Amino acid sequence: MTFTAAVSGASGYAGGELLRLLANHPDIEVGAITAHSSAGSALGALQPHLHSLADRVLQDTTPEVLAGHDVVFLALPHGASAGIAAQLPLDTLVIDAGADHRLQDPAAWEKFYGSVHAGTWPYGLPELPGHRAALEGARRIAVPGCYPTSVLLALTPGFAAGLLEPDDVVVVSASGTSGAGKAAKPHLIGSEVMGGMSPYGVGGGHRHTPEMEQGLSLAAGERVSLSFTPTLAPMARGILTTATAKVRPGVGHAELREAWEAAYADEPFVRILPEGQWPATKSVLGSNYANLQLAFDAHAGRMIVSSVIDNLTKGTAGGAVQSMNIALGLDETRGLTIQGIAP
Amino acid sequence: MTFTAAVSGASGYAGGELLRLLANHPDIEVGAITAHSSAGSALGALQPHLHSLADRVLQDTTPEVLAGHDVVFLALPHGASAGIAAQLPLDTLVIDAGADHRLQDPAAWEKFYGSVHAGTWPYGLPELPGHRAALEGARRIAVPGCYPTSVLLALTPGFAAGLLEPDDVVVVSASGTSGAGKAAKPHLIGSEVMGGMSPYGVGGGHRHTPEMEQGLSLAAGERVSLSFTPTLAPMARGILTTATAKVRPGVGHAELREAWEAAYADEPFVRILPEGQWPATKSVLGSNYANLQLAFDAHAGRMIVSSVIDNLTKGTAGGAVQSMNIALGLDETRGLTIQGIAP
Amino acid sequence: MTFTAAVSGASGYAGGELLRLLANHPDIEVGAITAHSSAGSALGALQPHLHSLADRVLQDTTPEVLAGHDVVFLALPHGASAGIAAQLPLDTLVIDAGADHRLQDPAAWEKFYGSVHAGTWPYGLPELPGHRAALEGARRIAVPGCYPTSVLLALTPGFAAGLLEPDDVVVVSASGTSGAGKAAKPHLIGSEVMGGMSPYGVGGGHRHTPEMEQGLSLAAGERVSLSFTPTLAPMARGILTTATAKVRPGVGHAELREAWEAAYADEPFVRILPEGQWPATKSVLGSNYANLQLAFDAHAGRMIVSSVIDNLTKGTAGGAVQSMNIALGLDETRGLTIQGIAP
Amino acid sequence: MTFTAAVSGASGYAGGELLRLLANHPDIEVGAITAHSSAGSALGALQPHLHSLADRVLQDTTPEVLAGHDVVFLALPHGASAGIAAQLPLDTLVIDAGADHRLQDPAAWEKFYGSVHAGTWPYGLPELPGHRAALEGARRIAVPGCYPTSVLLALTPGFAAGLLEPDDVVVVSASGTSGAGKAAKPHLIGSEVMGGMSPYGVGGGHRHTPEMEQGLSLAAGERVSLSFTPTLAPMARGILTTATAKVRPGVGHAELREAWEAAYADEPFVRILPEGQWPATKSVLGSNYANLQLAFDAHAGRMIVSSVIDNLTKGTAGGAVQSMNIALGLDETRGLTIQGIAP
């Protein structure tokens, strides 16, 4: 059986990655492809790597154009999803790659996004405890943020098993520039970013912080607080997260490793690397895979977890397709690549 | 029906890319994976991006290990293929990703490679006139070099149609560093190559030059001579070729464009871009696709063709799998990606 | 004795590089720093690498602000220099880093720039025959384009010595992205340019082509025609030029090498590398140096010259300061770096 | 007055950067240039960016060759400095760019380096409290490690002023690949490092950790413990450090900012950026400068300091020259660049 899927926001990086995956998906037929200011252009002029769809013309992003598909992907600026979704049939699977429906706490939404909260949808990270079941048959799904995906995969097993202290998580992530989007901004041009690194949103201001705290708190069963510093790395894709938390007294390396390995033993897209091997973002490029490695620094009393994902694949579009597969009752790995592109 | 395939030279970049494609190929089961000094290691330690094969252990590269597969891929240093191939059954499909069996002229081989010529096998570039038929049912195939693939795709239509002068072709190519292999050499470490460009093998010395001249001469029906300058670009993958040739008197832009478009109208992996759009190596990253664009510089009397491929995919392993598909009677595009990974 | 210098266009890359060099120049005091839309900002917000000038505030680019300095550098969009220069005193040294005053042929200017020609100023490439003398005491200087600098340094000795055929020069250059300027354009953002290469302005359309032909024709004493293809490389700075020309019958490698070595024997900023060593753009990063290497491809009958410069230093601001030194009667190397920054 | 300086380890990155700076230093004459396996080669073949020294031939690294200079720089593998230094006159200024003489605690040395401790020399980071005085007239100086330089500059003001908790410092740094040296190792080749990030030495194992704890403990007057995670970024040069520490109760943003600004008010090479501007490694490329920015995350109770340096300049060779200037009684900024090379 083939499902039809529409993709809005097709001129951006999330939209382009969604189309790349959907064009290769054996059970999906790509229907409407929509955009805002680029409507009327051929996709080949905007996403020249999508060769099989090069001659498709972008339509306007309206409920009318999107309706009539089995699945509608929204890859829109935050704040734009709720209005569109409200005009789509309730039995259409609507998958929001934006932030609008991720947070459960309206106050957190308002503090970080400055608008009225649009409500919460099932959270599309099936590897978290209990989340997969909530996605089965769902017709509204919120795709996690790319940083939260990398952080929640890194730390959830320890909090779920009660091995980590909740009050002083410190996370530093390095992201490829595609995470900053496709809009041409002076600090994002190649001459500025190639060959250098810089931080941004330091001091607790990044909008993904409450999403991370929400996920970890759910797993821990108590409030987890976290310091998050994102940095921009000179690469187009990939996130390397260094996530550290204090270990509860008496917990040792073996117990920690067992908790993580148990948590992901049956997951098709997450792997704890053999000891001694460290993850590299290039190993998961273009794939829906996450690699983790763990270290227990007894001297500092901290657990350090390194995680890598491709921000556009597992961190956005791949995670979205994985959740779609679950919601539609397809095999969870359908249409998703396991191997990374390297070197 | 499923075919079994063995891959030798699995620790290198060509071997890794072959395994990446074969692991995703619906009609192939990956059999023996072999190497030289890395035999005994787990593949995951050497090719950490090949997640589905991470626990496979590399075997020694011997005829005994390779025999018993429907297909054997040889990704070995030049000079090593002939000896192995001679010990494999005649009805085994042997595909040599190395240089040993590409050249028809033993003198050219000896001049550029300094050893005795091993003989010529069908040349695995089905887009060239008459080449696809020679690959059907073949049991020995020579995979073209990465630079020759980009140059022959760029210029063959013009020579085949008699529109170009044969005596003064000038080609400059920029290649990603994976084309130089995985051996750790001082001038290839990241600190040296990131952020800079340099030429090498200038003045006619590059071993791919006679292969380019052979292919163009076959198409032209007369001897074509060529100046080739390769350069090393700060990127892991991709070749951008700028190929120029003098245009025969009286030939104009429209006639040129028609010849190229006719040559590739039915090709699944080659596309002439719309006028005004220039090819970019990132558009074909990880795909088996080639993009071309043409310009006629009337002032200089020269045709300039820009072509881009991924040197490891269409330029090596993808081209090998495409030829394998033809030889085995499978759909030519089976197991190969059309979309590039971008950005 | 100290000279005062004003820099206009200080928010761009050429302006920034001029200020970097002038701030380190022992005989120069940096006076007015001007810009267009950025007037009123602190330089530190726009050029954060210029630490010693971080608190300086940009002024408007007007003749009044620029007047009263010994030297005025114009780093403005093409077409903007002539009007400003006409309002500056005749004994002020005005150095135009833009294109307005480079071409001698008004028809070439109009064809490639589409406006009325502003007149020709002494051409600031002192290494060309006769050019140094014309710069001594000059009060108007046109800084060469970055590509022409690399091409003219590469090929002039052969044309000046009558060793090369004038009718079929082929040049392919790879430039760092800073050559495309600091304006935020979609195809120049880091996600698009990192990890890939692409051509542009193919087929004779690049505005630097007539400037190259002008310089080579002057050296040859006859009309030289040239095919030029620029490509964009994933690096911030640097130009690698591959320049090829047919060699006149009977001319050999030794004669060619002698001509080049004689031409540059006394030049402080140009060096022919020892045979066997190829130039790398990183070797000249941030320096005013050019490295060349030569090859004679007897098979193809072509001379291939590889040249590398830093497009912003020797290719723009360093060349401008070198010419300023000559015009002011200072030592030509004053304030200029010989060593590149590597790795 | 001119001093003579010898540089050992001249084939590596630290040695090359020392020579770059010394060749431009107005008070230094470069004497012997020595190496180990590269002795006998021309410097131009190994460090092609050092144009003014290209024809100098490398000598063997022996006490005899090094003796007779006013200053001797040792850029040798750890463990090699002590033996050489013992054979140099006591009034020769010996500056060790290696690790041998940095640590005060022999037990820490033995734990992390596995050999007998060679003794402690004055620590060449004059910006730390009391350190500048100890360098005046010194004849033995230990150059700090590159990561410790970035971390100590980032956090020392807070510990010296008693504003930070000593027991849970968390540091994550991203370094350019030149920090890993010039030896050709498989995981450092360009194809592997371009376009990706990876951690290494996670969990407290990096040798620079005790050096950081030593410096911070000295400033704090009590034992500071620290978790350090280094990561490798796809750039040749630069370190971005994200250093976080818990803030003592009652301390606020204003007090923190005042402490840092007071600490560096008179420093020629350190600057706290204006609020709202974040540091970028490219801003300090090739310069001896450090840029810092501060954030107080009240929600997490942590101070986050971002610092950037060029690992080869301020982090190694520039810091060495700065200390040399102090020891010799020269102006501290002599021969050192303030401006970075950007873009």
Closest Cα of chain D to A272: distance in Å? 15
Angstrom distances, CA of residue C311 to CA of C145, C175, D51: 9, 8, 18
Answer yes or no: is pLDDT of A237 > 90.
Answer: yes
pLDDT in tens, D256-271: 999 999 999 999 999 9
Closest Cα of chain C to D2: distance in Å? 19
The reply to whether C7 and C109 lie within a common domain is yes
Residue contact C184–A188, C-beta within 8 A: yes
Chain A residue nearest residue B271, CA to CA = A51
Q: How many domains does chain D have?
A: 2
Residue contact C196–B278, C-beta within 8 A: no
- CA angle, residues A100, A101, A106, in degrees to nearest 5: 85
The reply to whether A31 and A121 lie within a common domain is yes
> Considering CB atoms only, which of D238, D297, D300 is closest to A196?
D238
In whole angstroms, give the CA distance from residue B168 to residue C309. Answer: 28
Is A133 part of a structural domain of the chain? Answer: yes
Closest Cα of chain A to C185: distance in Å? 6
Confidence class for position B204, pLDDT limits 50, 70, 90: confident
Please give the DSSP secondary-structure letter assigned to residue D317.
Answer: I
Is D337 part of a structural domain of the chain? Answer: no
pLDDT of residue A205: 83
B215 interface with C at CB cutoff 8 Å: no
Tokens standing for residue B23: 């692991």
The reply to whether D120 and D218 lie within a common domain is no
Please choose, from the candidates B104, B36, B28, B113, the residue with its C-alpha nearest in 3D space to the C-alpha of residue B69: B28
> Considering CB atoms only, which of D203, D244, D343 is closest to A170?
D244
In whole angstroms, give the CA distance from residue D172 to residue A242. Answer: 8
pLDDT in tens, C73-89: 999 998 999 999 999 99
The reply to whether D215 and D203 lie within a common domain is yes
In whole angstroms, give the CA distance from residue D242 to residue D264. Answer: 19
Could you tell me if B264 and B127 are in contact, meaning their C-beta atoms sit under 8 angstroms apart? yes
Contacts of D107 (CB under 8 A, 6+ apart): none
Name beta bridge partners: C142: C96, C123
Catalytic residues of B, by residue number, are 146
Could you tell me if D14 and D81 are in contact, meaning their C-beta atoms sit under 8 angstroms apart? no
> Considering CB atoms only, which of B13, B184, B234 is closest to D194?
B234
Residue contact C182–A186, C-beta within 8 A: yes
Sheet holding A302-309, edge to edge: A198-199, A226-232, A169-175, A239-246, A302-309, A290-297, A270-272
DSSP letter string, C203-237: TTT-TTHHHHHHHHHHHHTS---EEEEEEE-SSSS
Q: What's the whole-number mean pLDDT along residues A124-135?
A: 98
Confidence class for position C1, pLDDT limits 50, 70, 90: confident
pLDDT of residue B216: 98
pLDDT of residue A1: 85
What is the CB neighbour count within 10 angstroms for residue A324? Answer: 31
Q: Name the pairing type of β-strands D169-175 and D239-246.
A: antiparallel
pLDDT of residue B108: 92
Answer yes or no: is pLDDT of B205 > 90.
Answer: no
pLDDT in tens, A79-88: 999 999 999 9
Catalytic residue among C146, C219, C327, C336: C146
Could you tell me if C79 and C96 are in contact, meaning their C-beta atoms sit under 8 angstroms apart? no
The reply to whether B154 and B303 lie within a common domain is yes
The reply to whether C212 and C183 lie within a common domain is yes
Q: Which chains touch C (3 or more CB pairs under 8 A)?
A: A, B, D
The reply to whether C92 and C212 lie within a common domain is no
Q: Which chains touch D (3 or more CB pairs under 8 A)?
A: A, B, C
What is the CB neighbour count within 10 angstroms for residue A261? Answer: 14
> Chain B partners of C302 at a C-beta cutoff of 8 Å?
168, 170, 227
Residue contact C234–A194, C-beta within 8 A: yes
> Chain A partners of B14 at a C-beta cutoff of 8 Å?
none
Is D214 part of a structural domain of the chain? Answer: yes
Tokens standing for residue C38: 């950025």
Torsion of CA A342, A343, B4, B9, to 10 degrees: -160
> Considering CB atoms only, which of D194, D229, D299 is closest to A242?
D229
Instruction: Count CA atoms within 13 Å of residue D154 on its CB side.
Output: 31
Size of interface B-D (CB pairs under 8 A): 70
Q: Find where tokens 């607080």 sit.
A: A225
pLDDT in tens, B79-138: 999 999 999 999 999 999 999 999 999 999 999 998 999 999 999 999 999 999 999 999
pLDDT in tens, B254-293: 999 999 999 999 999 999 999 999 999 999 999 999 999 9
Residue contact C234–A13, C-beta within 8 A: no
pLDDT of residue C204: 85
> Chain B partners of D188 at a C-beta cutoff of 8 Å?
184, 189-191
Interface-testing mutation among D7, D51, D237, D275, with chain C (most C C-beta atoms within 10 A): D51
Closest Cα of chain B to C71: distance in Å? 33
The torsion region of residue D123 among left (phi > 0), alpha (psi -120 to 50) and beta comes to: beta
C192 interface with A at CB cutoff 8 Å: yes
Is B340 part of a structural domain of the chain? Answer: no
In whole angstroms, give the CA distance from residue B77 to residue B97. Answer: 9
Burial per residue of A21-37, b for 16 or more beta-carbon CB atoms within 10 angstroms, e otherwise: bbbbbebbebbbbbbbe
Tokens standing for residue A202: 């330091």
CATH number of the domain to which C236 belongs: 3.30.360.10
Answer yes or no: is pLDDT of A75 > 90.
Answer: yes
Is residue C313 exposed (0-12), middle (13-18) or buried (19+ Cβ within 10 Å)?
Answer: buried
The reply to whether D185 and D256 lie within a common domain is yes
Proportion of chain B above pLDDT 70, given as a percent: 100
Dihedral pair phi/psi, residue D22, rounded to 5° = -70, -35
Angstrom distances, CA of residue A208 to CA of A92, A99, A236, B156, B180: 28, 9, 20, 52, 41
Angstrom distances, CA of residue B171 to CA of A218, B155, C117, C172: 60, 10, 35, 9
Q: Which domain holds residue A31?
A: 3-144+316-328
Proportion of chain B above pLDDT 90, given as a percent: 96
Query: What's the mean pLDDT when you consider all of chain C?
Result: 97
Could you tell me if C180 and C160 are in contact, meaning their C-beta atoms sit under 8 angstroms apart? no
- CA angle, residues B274, B279, B284, in degrees to nearest 5: 115
Catalytic residues of D, by residue number, are 146
Could you tell me if C179 and C311 are in contact, meaning their C-beta atoms sit under 8 angstroms apart? yes
> Chain D partners of A234 at a C-beta cutoff of 8 Å?
233-235
pLDDT of residue A302: 96
> Considering CB atoms only, which of A178, A185, A235 is closest to C184?
A185
pLDDT of residue D127: 98
Q: What's the whole-number mean pLDDT along residues C133-159?
A: 98
A188 interface with D at CB cutoff 8 Å: no
Is C333 part of a structural domain of the chain? Answer: no
Q: Name the pairing type of β-strands D290-297 and D302-309.
A: antiparallel
Q: What's the whole-number mean pLDDT along residues B49-78?
A: 97
Is C62 part of a structural domain of the chain? Answer: yes
Instruction: Report helix, strand and coil shares of chain B as percent, to nearest 5.
Output: 30, 20, 45
What is the CB neighbour count within 10 angstroms for residue B190? Answer: 26
D343 interface with B at CB cutoff 8 Å: no
Tell me: cis bond preceding A89? Omega within 30 of 0 counts.
no
In whole angstroms, give the CA distance from residue B340 to residue A171. Answer: 32
Instruction: Report helix, strand and coil shares of chain C as percent, to nearest 5.
Output: 30, 20, 45
The reply to whether B29 and B55 lie within a common domain is yes
**Rounded to two decimals, what is the model's pTM?**
0.98
In whole angstroms, give the CA distance from residue B296 to residue B305. Answer: 9
C191 interface with A at CB cutoff 8 Å: yes
Please choose, from the candidates B272, B270, B266, B248, the residue with its C-alpha nearest in 3D space to the C-alpha of residue B318: B270
- CA angle, residues C108, C110, C114, in degrees to nearest 5: 140
pLDDT of residue B154: 98
Is A342 part of a structural domain of the chain? Answer: no
B196 interface with C at CB cutoff 8 Å: yes
Assign B272 to helix, strand or coil. strand
D306 interface with A at CB cutoff 8 Å: yes
Residue contact C286–D341, C-beta within 8 A: yes
Name beta bridge partners: A230: A173
Is D340 part of a structural domain of the chain? Answer: no
Q: Find where tokens 């500048």 sit.
A: D132
Q: What's the whole-number mean pLDDT along residues C255-272?
A: 98
Closest Cα of chain C to A48: distance in Å? 11
pLDDT in tens, B131-183: 999 999 999 999 999 999 999 999 999 999 999 999 999 999 999 999 999 99
The reply to whether C84 and C208 lie within a common domain is no
In whole angstroms, give the CA distance from residue B271 to residue B287. Answer: 13
- CA angle, residues A108, A114, A120, in degrees to nearest 5: 50
Could you tell me if B149 and B173 are in contact, meaning their C-beta atoms sit under 8 angstroms apart? no
In whole angstroms, give the CA distance from residue C306 to residue C291. Answer: 8
CATH number of the domain to which A42 belongs: 3.40.50.720
Proportion of chain C above pLDDT 70, given as a percent: 100
pLDDT in tens, D285-337: 999 999 999 999 999 999 999 999 999 999 999 999 999 999 999 999 999 99
Please choose, from the candidates C336, C284, C337, the residue with its C-alpha nearest in 3D space to the C-alpha of residue C306: C284
Residue contact A283–B16, C-beta within 8 A: no
pLDDT in tens, B171-184: 999 999 999 999 99
Could you tell me if D333 and D266 are in contact, meaning their C-beta atoms sit under 8 angstroms apart? no
The reply to whether C131 and C156 lie within a common domain is no
A343 interface with C at CB cutoff 8 Å: no
pLDDT of residue D68: 94
> Chain B partners of C282 at a C-beta cutoff of 8 Å?
192, 195-196, 198
Dihedral pair phi/psi, residue D287, rounded to 5° = -105, 170
Residue contact D49–C13, C-beta within 8 A: no
Please give the DSSP secondary-structure letter assigned to residue A133.
Answer: H
Could you tell me if D181 and D12 are in contact, meaning their C-beta atoms sit under 8 angstroms apart? yes
B14 interface with D at CB cutoff 8 Å: no
In whole angstroms, give the CA distance from residue A303 to residue A296. Answer: 5
> Chain B partners of D191 at a C-beta cutoff of 8 Å?
13, 176-178, 180, 182, 188, 236
Residue contact B195–D13, C-beta within 8 A: no
Could you tell me the mean pLDDT of each successive run of 10 residues in chain D, 343 residues long?
Answer: 96 98 97 96 97 97 96 95 94 97 94 91 98 98 98 98 97 98 95 98 90 98 97 98 97 97 98 96 98 96 97 98 98 96 96
Residue contact D182–B189, C-beta within 8 A: yes
In whole angstroms, give the CA distance from residue A230 to residue A147. Answer: 8
The reply to whether A177 and A100 lie within a common domain is no
pLDDT of residue D204: 85
Q: What's the whole-number mean pLDDT along residues A1-30?
A: 97
